[in-house]
A and B are shown apart, each in its own frame.
Chain A
Amino acid sequence: MVKDKPAVMDATSHKIWDLVTIGAGPAALSAALYTTREDITTLLFEKGVIGGLAAITDWIDNYPGFPKGVAGLELSDNLRLQAERFGAVIELGEVMSITDKGTHKLLATTSGDIKARAVLIATGSDYKKLGIPGEAEYFARGVHYCATCDGAFYRGKKLVVVGGGNSAVQEAIFLTRYATHIDLLVRGDSMRASEVLQHELNDYKDKISVHFNTTTDEIVAKDNVVTHVVSTNSKTGKQKNIITDGVFIFIGLRPNTGFLKDTKIALDEIGLIKSDSKLETNMPGVFVAGDVRSGATMQIASATGEGDTAALMIREFLHDLK
């Protein structure tokens, strides 16, 4: 039998929460659905968008149960509603650090200090920057990292998209609904995107031109308006100016683990969090799920699955505490 609970609580509702999740993306929202159904008091901290990267993805075709696909925003909202239905509390704020206090963990947050018996780190990752001249200067004025947010400003305009992986191809295709033409600049000599996406990209040949072996060196503007990108063909060494009204950058992701720098929680060489077969980190009672976990497959379905697994492991951990 399911039970509906009114969710009129906030971060101060419990002196010690059974579980605090850091992040409210697909992994944490799924974990919260499982824990709250078992009366494990659960608080989720979200510094950005509820639903994480899934919420800013236009369309998702590979999440099971949606034969026609589903909008990222809709899936995220459904995950949120389902977790809140059983009593999950979402606090809009950031967790800055975790300290192990033995009987509990102390989290320093933008909403003050919060105590938790168990913690789930599900912080995912953020877009990487190119680090080239013009990138920071023209951020949000011609340089962007979120197509679903800012694409609409490029109706009838020309765009450059940088990157050769799934995100770059997916977002370039999305941007064709606004832009008249897109130059896709790929550093390597082939695409890293999945076969399915590469196949789809073929259908946009008239709108998207792919440039392989092309580095993006500088974003240039005149009177504060982006005019072109300076690129180099790494095979010939030849420089070329690519005329554009804006640049969208999708060159990969950086794990959101900076807030762990003062802890002993073990990370792998790229900064993802290591865990054992129970998804527990080397700090007892601190679990990890989703994109930020070393070994994760970086998909929404796997993030929600890991969230559920972590929830069941957390239940065991809390049970053993009693």
Chain B
Amino acid sequence: MAKDITIYTTNTCAYCVMVKKWLGAKGHSYSEVNLDDHPERQKEAFEMSGQLAVPVTVITKDDDSKEIVVGYNLAKLAPAVA
């Protein structure tokens, strides 16, 4: 089970909406870092994902290990939050 889920998003990113919608539908709560509101945290998203893209979903597991999923990718998101 995921202990914590954080999503890095931007205002215009439709795939970010889909990740939030999917997590909501599956009953997961999450926190959001909007990079348009917090451009200073862009570097943090890039360092974590290695990619210049959103959404970046950071899943912290019970054992504090982290899994990072870039994009709206259900094949990766579903097992990561399970």
Q: A and B: partners? A: yes
Q: Mark B1-28, 1 if CB is under 8 A from A, else 0.
A: 0000000001011111110011001000
Residue A266 CB within 8 A of the other chain: no
Nearest CB in chain A: distance from B69 CB, A: 12
Given contacts A148-B12, A152-B42, A153-B42, contact A140 B18 (CB under 8 A): no
Binds B, one of A26-34, A44-52, A183-191, A271-279: A44-52
Given contacts A49-B18, A140-B70, A155-B39, contact A148 B13 (CB under 8 A): yes
Residue A201 CB within 8 A of the other chain: no
Chain B, interface size category, equals: 20 to 34
Residue A142 CB within 8 A of the other chain: yes
By beta carbon, the residue of chain B nearest A143 is B52
Nearest CB in chain A: distance from B9 CB, A: 10
Residue B59 CB within 8 A of the other chain: no
Residue B29 CB within 8 A of the other chain: no
Q: Mark B40-82, 1 if CB is under 8 A from A, else 0.
A: 0010001000111110000000000000001110100000000
Q: Mark A36-60, 1 if CB is under 8 A from B, else 0.
A: 0000000000001111000110100
Complex Cα distance A17/B48, Å? 43
By beta carbon, the residue of chain A nearest B46 is A153
Interface size on A, residues (CB 8 A): 29
Within 8 A of B (CB), among A122-151: 140-142, 144, 146, 148-151
Interface of chain A: mostly helix, strand, loop or mixed:
mixed
Given contacts A48-B72, A92-B74, A155-B39, contact A140 B51 (CB under 8 A): yes
Cβ of A140 and Cβ of B53 under 8 Å apart? yes
Cβ of B35 and Cβ of A152 under 8 Å apart? yes
Give which listed residue, A48, A49, A141, A149, contacts B54 with CB less than 8 A: A149
Most buried by A among B10, B25, B50: B10
Most buried by B among A50, A76, A149, A154: A149
Nearest CB in chain A: distance from B24 CB, A: 11
Residue B36 CB within 8 A of the other chain: yes
Nearest CB in chain B: distance from A77 CB, A: 8
Complex Cα distance A76/B21, Å? 14
Given contacts A48-B72, A92-B74, A153-B42, contact A55 B14 (CB under 8 A): yes
Cβ of B14 and Cβ of A141 under 8 Å apart? no
By beta carbon, the residue of chain B nearest A246 is B52
Residue A72 CB within 8 A of the other chain: yes
Nearest CB in chain A: distance from B57 CB, A: 14
Nearest CB in chain A: distance from B44 CB, A: 12
Cβ of B51 and Cβ of A149 under 8 Å apart? no
Given contacts A49-B17, A92-B22, A153-B42, contact A144 B12 (CB under 8 A): no
Complex Cα distance A182/B74, Å? 33
* Contacts A/B (CB < 8 Å), 28 sampled: A48-B15, A49-B14, A51-B14, A58-B12, A71-B12, A72-B14, A73-B12, A76-B14, A92-B22, A140-B53, A140-B70, A141-B52, A142-B52, A146-B15, A148-B12, A148-B14, A149-B10, A149-B15, A149-B16, A149-B54, A150-B54, A152-B10, A152-B12, A153-B42, A153-B46, A153-B52, A154-B52, A155-B39
